[in-house]
Amino acid sequence: MNKTNLAVLAAVVLLPFVVRPAIASEIWIFAIFGLGLNLLMGYTGLLSFGQSTFFGSAAYVAGWLLKHYGINVFVALGVGVGVGAVSAALVGYLCVQRSGIYFIMLTFALNQLFYFIAYQWTSVTGGEDGMPGITRPEFLGIDFKDPLAYYLFVSALFLFSLWIMKRIVESPLGKILQAIRENEVRAEAVGYNAPRFKLLAFVIGGAFSGLAGVLYAMLFGIVPLEAIGFVTSGNVVFATLIGGSGSLYGPIIGSFVFIWLSESVSTLWARWPLLLGLAFVIVVMFLRGGVVEAWTRFWLWQSSRQKI
């Protein structure tokens, strides 16, 4: 196992000792969400500004089933992934024909549409109030209500997701997606049906988002309306950009940074979004590659110093 993966494993094991299990779980959930987005953004070059559509839809559907039909956790996960994938297929189908700014706007518009549907359908979603009362049913005697038990569950799923994503990006599919990102025309010329592959990327990304959505609903016991809102869509994009969209691990770092800022700093200063905005500006001006690039540059500078 290479060193990076070892580091990730170490993080998974050590994190609950440093922060509360609930925050630790949230970080990995957000990382799964980011991994899904990055397949689209970093690898295929598609800035999807509506990922919360899949995240939220999966959360609502799975949450509803958990609450009213008492399904078990694995069925819930399956539902989440399924809903995420299907909704992504729908949205993706409408979006992949477009590119550039049009694509971004359309994902945003469809996201808003889903948001307003969720907002209006109060009998099911609770509208503004959200959908509370989501259970964490026990399975085979494991009580997931215990924060640590749930954390183990979430982190295991995260590692699994990371492994799958790694396999995907290193596979021929991953290469094709990157080729499309680099030069779509050339990819088409070589014989790849770009829209179809983009749709596939969408569906996979949606599946990951859906998984994150279900885990989120079970973590907090509630599906808030924000889960399907554009702010959540924006958050995952920004977190991934900050971490560095050029790397498989970027979304993970981005998740850490983002959750850290929103949890810790917010208790210290109510105006913390100002710092977030500044962080964005700095990243864009100086650190396009995000934290990954910053660290790489620092390391290069260090090593070049040592040579002298």
Partner 1 sequence: MSQLKRRDILKVGAIGAAAAGLGFPGIIRAQQKEIVILGLWDQTGAFADVGPLNDRGMRMALEERDMKVLGRPIKYVTRDGATQAGTSTRRAEEAIDGEGARFMIGPWSSGVALAVSEVAKRKKVVHFFSGGTEDISGARCHRYSFQWAASPYTAAKTVVDNFMKANPKARRWHLLVADYAFGWSVEKYIKEVGKTHGIEFVGADRHPLGEREFSNYVQKAAANRPDVVVMINFGGDAVAGAREIFNFGITPKLPLIMSWSSGVEELVQLAPEIRENLWVGTNFYYTADTPVANAFVKNYSAKFGNPPGYAPSAAYSMTRLMLAGFDKAKSAEVQDVIGALEGLEINDLLGRMRIDPATHQTLRPYFFLRCKPKSAMKHPTDLADIVATGDTPLPKEYAACKDIGSF
Partner 2 sequence: MLYALMGLGLALIAGILNIPNFAHGALFAVGAYLMVSAIGAVGNFWVALLIAPLGVAILGLLIEYAGIRRLYAAGHDYQLLFTFGLSLILAEGIILIWGPVGISQLPPLLLRGGVDLGFTFYPKYRLFVMAVAGLLVVGTWLFLEKTRYGAIMRAGIENKEMVSLLGIDIHWLFTVAFALGAYLAGIAGALTAPIRGLSPGMGVDMLGIAFVVVALGGMGNILGAIAAGLLIGVAQAVVAAYWTEASTAVIYLVMAAVLVVRPQGLFGIR
> Least distance to partner 2 from the beta carbon of 290, Å?
10
Neighbour-count burial for 218-239, b at 16+ CB within 10 Å, e otherwise: bbbbbbbbebbbbebbbbbbbb
Rounded CA gap, 238 and 297, in Å?
21
Q: To the nearest whole angstrom, how small is the minimum distance from the Cβ of residue 32 to partner 1?
A: 17
Q: Residue 99 or residue 135: which is nearer to partner 2 going by CB?
A: 99
Does residue 127 touch partner 1 according to CB under 8 A?
Answer: yes
Distances (CA, A) of 158 to 25, 50, 127, 142, 221: 9, 22, 30, 19, 19
From CA 84, how far away is CA 89, in angstroms rounded? 9
Three-state SS for 114? helix
- Based on CB atoms, which residue is closest to partner 2, 10 or 274? 274
Cα separation, 131 vs 136, whole angstroms: 14
Q: Which is nearer to partner 1, 15 or 32 (CB)?
A: 15
Q: Which of residues 246-285 bind partner 1 (CB under 8 A)?
A: 249, 253, 256-257, 259-260, 263-264, 266-267, 270, 273
Q: Would you say 12 or 41 has its CB closer to partner 1?
A: 12
* Residue 106 binds to partner 2 (criterion: CB under 8 A): yes
User: Distance (Å, rounded) from C-alpha 176 to C-alpha 198?
Assistant: 10
From 8, 22, 89, 109, residue interacting with partner 2 (rule: CB under 8 A): 109
Regarding 157 and contact with partner 1 (CB under 8 A), the answer is: no
163 near partner 1 (CB under 8 A): no
- 27 with 21: CB under 8 angstroms? no
Instruction: Please report how close the Cβ of residue 262 comes to partner 2 at its closest, in angstroms.
Output: 12
- The packing angle between helices 290-307 and 250-260, to 10°, is 110
Which residues in 85-104 contact partner 2 (CB under 8 A)?
A: 94, 97-98, 100-102, 104
Residues of this chain that interact with partner 2 (CB under 8 A) are 41, 47, 49, 94, 97-98, 100-102, 104-106, 108-110, 112-113, 116-117, 119-120, 230, 234, 237-238, 241, 245, 271, 273-274, 276-281, 283-285, 288
